[in-house]
Structure 1
Amino acid sequence: MPATVVRHQDNLTTRRLIAERTPGHSLPAPFYTSDEIFDLDLDAIFGRHWIFVASEAEIREPGDYVTVEFGKTSLLVIRDDDENVQVLHNVCRHRGARILTPGSGSVGNLVCGYHQWTYKPDGTLIWAASAADDFDTSCHNLRKVAFRSIAGLIYVNLSDEPNDDIDEVASIVEPYFEQHQLKRAKVAKQIDLIELGNWKLTMENNRECYHCDMHPELGCTYFITWGYPEDAIPPHLQETHERYLSAEAELERKCVERNLAFKGIEELDTRTMGFRVQREALDGEGESYSMTGAKLVNKLLGDFDDAKLGRLSMHTQPNFWCHFMADHAITFAVLPIAPGRTLVRTTWLVHEDAVEGVDYNVDDLTYVWRETNAQDAAFVELAQIGVTDPAYIPGPYVPSEYQVDAFCNWYIDKLNTHLDAEAAE
């Protein structure tokens, strides 16, 4: 059967599933389990929209690189000899071999291990052994990928015509991050975790705190009333909510004094690049994600003079969230591998002058989110097992899960836009 016919049939099936979705409910099972929809996600979502891949702190020096893998795509995020960021397809222009294997490190030039075609870190082909006399190296540079750095956070877009909504989003969110000075940070630790669930279940799990009672370590500092409407705080969380209101008032005062942006801005399903950003208070000592809320790094980021400045959190559709404190920052990248497998890359960043063993201890720095990520991975796996069960019927979201609903709304809208464009071809 011709590929165009197969694609048309798959699109009709997807349209039917979209039509069957009840607003305010989870998605029909095939959205989490189907190979065809997973392939569509890679094309319509990860192939057309701005996705987070790394921070500039991960590639501090010329030649530093990190590979980013999702679906069948492999990218190189690298700093070139002129100290500029480059994003390149990790595909040799000779016969397509992978140039660098998954991971990170530092290189001089990029040398393909198959036939040794050699490229500069900016992707320029500089040597091809035994090429014909009329071979033009300039026609065989590595393919570049559109990217945008937002306050040191690197986003890429694989489309030939990337949407420009990122420009307006950047102008809105960059003032929140500028005083953290991420470009003066370095990696303290990076951990890749494979969750046995669909990438959307990973994102949905992150967008609600309905389950946060199940995160004891996180609950030492993270107000687990997050996301609940003011008039719907459960009785057992009323005391926590009172502490939250008091801590928020104190944080707002400090932010105003220091000219720190803090107010929540949320446009999760109302624009092309859905996002949410806000600086919010932490419980306990209010400084960092530790078991007491006390700071975990003595050398604060940027030029901060006070560790008790809560957490600056941002979420961008479809694959990113982060937490920036005064003492360190944490980024999370969600990268789909297969319908039921997702990589979650967590990176802890500290001031470039912070010394391990003196200013911070890596195990202490990473403890809360290592435990929380492991717990979330277990929840995502439970959800994936459940949606594969024939008894699964999409269930309703509770009010505190409104951001999950917004994520699904955004996702469905982007699929429809993509399918409409294909139908018009």
Structure 2
Amino acid sequence: MSAPVHTLLKSRGKLASSLRAEQVAEITELFDFRRVGYSLDAPFYTDPTIFDIDMKAIFGQHWIFAASIAELPEPGDYVTVDYGPFSLIVLRDDDGGVNVLHNVCRHRGARVLTEPAGTTGNLVCGYHSWTYSPRGDLVHASAPGETKFDKGCFGLKRAHNRVVAGLIFVCIADEPPTDFDETGEIFEPYLAPHDLSKTKIAYQQNIIEDGNWKLVMENNRECYHCDGHPELACSLFPTWGLTEGLIPLHLEEVWDRNKQAQSSLEDRCRRYGLPYEVVEELDTRVAGIRISRDALDGDGESFSPDGHRLSKKLLGDLRDFRLGRCSMHLQPNSWFHFLGDHVITFAVFPVNEHQTLVRTTWLVADDAVEGVDYDLKKLTHTWKQTNLQDKAFVELCQKGAGSPAYEPGPYMKSEYQVEAFINWYVQRVQEHLA
């Protein structure tokens, strides 16, 4: 390389499409010579130029989990979703469908909707009152003296969306990746029985983690650190991600209990016609996925100290609380836990190269009554604590990546899903740079 990577990447650059040719060559080489089985070089986690490329190559090109349909129960309900330089409005229309619009007024670029969620009819920009329909069409713009102003040319820009099993995904690329529908066909049968259309938000938590978005995702993709989650370890077997031959002595008894619980769970799934098999294509398809139904410890029903249910209301058409958790990972920004009594969705939205918003949403049956059918503090306790612990782990790694002493370290065998995420990421950026 003609210059040290750290020197090259000190100053903030433009998106990949407008970088100087020598910068593109240097960054391409950085990706090409990434050492398989090791964490990434420091600039991947610290440099604003690479962050800009991530926003263009990953969040500007691929399907991103934005929200669930439970967050938009009525026509006119909306959420705003911000990541990197982008801001989107995700809106339920009068026909029950979903529209996704860029939250940028076509007059002078002001944010149109400024609240994180709410209900609206037409969308009115607070700057000069340009008014748009829920589909984004410009319906009113006061233009004194203008005789050639064509409102039809100035509607809000639209983004693509897909709603699968009650989960809303968005893509701002002109031509979205085409294999997402195939991935949706994989996970829809697992999630449909929980019926998100008949759920409501019990609680939503937004945490800013002082770490690069990739560190947030890496942390989620392994349980090597799960000794640091005492609340979660009450119900989630700490042997998750391990296989025969990798079980440490102090977890052998837990491993045996896990295998017995998993066998019982699979018997119940076959009885109820629920899919449970592991599907793992994290880096072998563009819309990477891992999904399975896994047993929980204790009563095997929910994320509680004894594994007992946390809501008295079953979801959808499920017939049994003791169904463990249906766990799904999707590249690049989400993971999910679907249980018999509630659902938890996790969305990762990059803020800048060293900050990431992690949004966690707890969903319960729409007829569940707080204080009667569930205790909100108990419902959210395990993952609130786990999120705070993960925030601390991510921030430790971000500080380390900023040290001159940092160099990539090896992933352990139990961290194979981290390697798969990084491999997926590198492939996607290389495709973009090419």
Same fold (TM over 0.5): yes
Q: Aligned letter for 2:160? A: A
Aligned with 2:236 (options 222, 231, 244): 222
Q: CA RMSD in A?
A: 1.3
Residue type at the aligned position of 1:97: A
Report the equivalent of 1:178.
Answer: 192
Moved more, 10-19 or 209-218: 10-19
CA distance in structure 1 between the aligned counterparts of 2:91 and 2:20, rounded to whole angstroms: 35
The yes-or-no answer on 1:243 pairing with 2:257 is: yes
CA contact (8 A) 1:273 1:317 kept: yes
2:152 to 128, 131, 138: 138
Q: Report SS of the residue matched to 1:163.
A: coil
Q: Which amino acid aligns with 1:252?
A: E
Which residue identity lines up with residue 57 of structure 1 in the other structure? A
The aligned residue for residue 96 of structure 2 is 83
Bigger Cα displacement from structure 2, 99-108 vs 233-242:
99-108
Distance 1:323 1:171, change over 3 A: same
Question: Which residue of 38, 52, 59 maps to 2:72?
Answer: 59
Q: 1:328 to 1:128 in 2, by over 3 A?
A: same
Which whole-Å CA distance do the structure 2 matches of 1:267 and 1:56 have between them? 26
1:350 aligns with 2:364: yes
- 1:108-133 Cα shifts (integer Å, max 9, x gaps): 22110001111122212211113534
1:13 matched to 2:36? The reply is: no
2:373 to 334, 359, 379: 359
- Contact residue 194 and residue 343 of structure 1 kept, 8 A: yes
Specify the code of the residue in structure 1 equivalent to 2:177. Answer: N
Residues 306-355 of structure 1, C-alpha deviation per residue, up to 9 Å, x if partnerless? 11100001111100000000100000000100111000000001111111
1:102 CA drift (Å)? 4.2
Equivalent positions of 1:42-191 (< 5 A) are 42-130=55-143, 132-191=146-205
**2:290 aligned to which of 276, 298, 304:** 276
Match 1:209 to one of 205, 210, 223: 223
Render the CA deviation track for 1:222-280: whole Å, top value 9, x for unaligned.
Answer: 01101112211111111111111011011000000100011000001111111101011
Match of 1:192 among 172, 195, 206: 206
Deviation string, structure 1 residues 183-205 (Cα, Å, up to 9, x no partner): 11111111100001000000000
| CA pair 6-87 structure 1, distance change in 2 beyond 3 A | closer
Kindly provide the amino acid, as one letter, of the partner of residue 195 in structure 1. E
1:5, CA displacement in angstroms?
Answer: 7.2
3-state SS of paired residue (2:49): helix
Question: How far 1:18 sits from its partner (Å)?
Answer: 1.8
* Amino acid of the structure 2 residue aligned with 1:244: N
Letter in 1 for 2:181: D
2 CA distance for matches of 1:365 and 1:122? 37
Q: 1 CA distance for matches of 2:207 and 2:115?
A: 14
Q: Which moved further from structure 2: 48-57 or 114-123?
A: 114-123
1:423 counterpart residue number: none
Q: Secondary structure at the match of 2:30?
A: helix
Deviations 1:372-419 (A, max 9, x none): 000000000000000111111101111000000011101111111001
Q: Distance in 1 between matches of 2:409 and 2:346?
A: 27
Inter-partner Cα distance in structure 2 for 1:102 and 1:388: 34
Partners in 1 of 2:151 and 2:272 — Cα distance? 53
Tell me which residue corresponds to 2:3: none
Q: Which amino acid aligns with 1:20?
A: F
Distance in 2 separating the partners of 1:267 and 1:6: 32
| Secondary structure, counterpart of 2:192 in structure 1 | helix
2:63 & 2:23 partners in 1: Cα distance? 25
| Identical counterparts, % of pairs | 56
Comparing 171-180 with 9-18, which one deviates more in the overlay?
9-18
Moved more, 124-133 or 31-40: 124-133
Unaligned stretches of 5+ in structure 2? Answer: 1-12
Q: What SS does the corresponding residue of 1:42 show, helix, strand or coil?
A: helix
1:231–1:413 Cα change, 3 Å? same
Q: Secondary structure at the match of 1:231?
A: coil
CA distance in 2, matches of 1:5, 1:125: 31
- Deviations 1:80-123, CA, capped at 9 Å, x for gaps: 12221111100111111101114111112211000111112221
Alpha-carbon distance in 2 for matches of 1:311, 1:133: 61
User: Which letter maps to 1:387?
Assistant: A
TM-score (norm 2): 0.94
- For the Cα contact (< 8 Å) 1:10–1:36, is it kept in 2? no
Where structure 1 has 5 or more consecutive residues not aligned to the other structure, the ranges are: 421-425
**d(CA) in 2 for partners of 1:332, 1:382:** 21
Could you list the per-position Cα deviations for residues 159-190 of structure 1 after superposition, in whole angstroms to 9, with x for gaps in the alignment? 10111110110111101011000111111111
Which whole-Å CA distance do the structure 1 matches of 2:18 and 2:58 have between them? 22
Counterpart Cα distance in 2 of 1:183 and 1:136? 39
Q: 1:29 aligns with which of 39, 42, 45?
A: 42
d(CA) in 2 for partners of 1:6 and 1:269? 27
Q: Quick one: distance in 2 between partners of 1:319 and 1:310?
A: 23
Instruction: Look up the SS of the partner of 1:232 in the other structure.
Output: coil
Q: Which runs of structure 2 are paired with 1:296-315 in the superposition (5 Å)? A: 296-315=310-329
Q: What secondary structure is seen at the aligned counterpart in 1 of 2:271?
A: helix
Residue 361 of structure 1: CA displacement?
1.6
| Distance in 2 (alpha carbons) for counterparts of 1:231 and 1:264 | 19
